[in-house]
Structure 1
């Protein structure tokens, strides 16, 4: 059975039999859809791959301290930005 490495809410790598639904970048702490145009461009440039992480869902990505991508998840990003503005 194939297993996938995902990040959990504590930023620990865990093994799952289900692939991640979202991809993220460890340095920028941004997550988004796997077909995100911005992420695909970065992957094509090659340096992005070693910092790529995967999440089972949005709640886990946010709990791990990642924010939504403004390119592929504009509504989630707007909600995140509004909430961040209230708390800071």
Structure 2
């Protein structure tokens, strides 16, 4: 199954990050995870991609900013996540 690239920015020990990654894992989705616990260039990248985002996780499907764990779960409940992942 081919899908757009999924990127998730996380921090160590973040329960919301764990929950979001668990949902993606259950769906069999490969994703790239960037741990921004210590800041650095990937945190700057996240802020460029999502200027108003101050919390983690921040999730992107392709170039679409999904938001955080709650938004990802909401897309799943609404039946919209599979379509965004190209899994229809």
For the criterion TM > 0.5, the same-fold answer is no
Larger radius of gyration, structure 1 or 2?
A: 1
TM-score, scaled to structure 2? 0.32
TM-score, scaled to structure 1? 0.32
Which structure's residues are more often strand, by fraction? 1
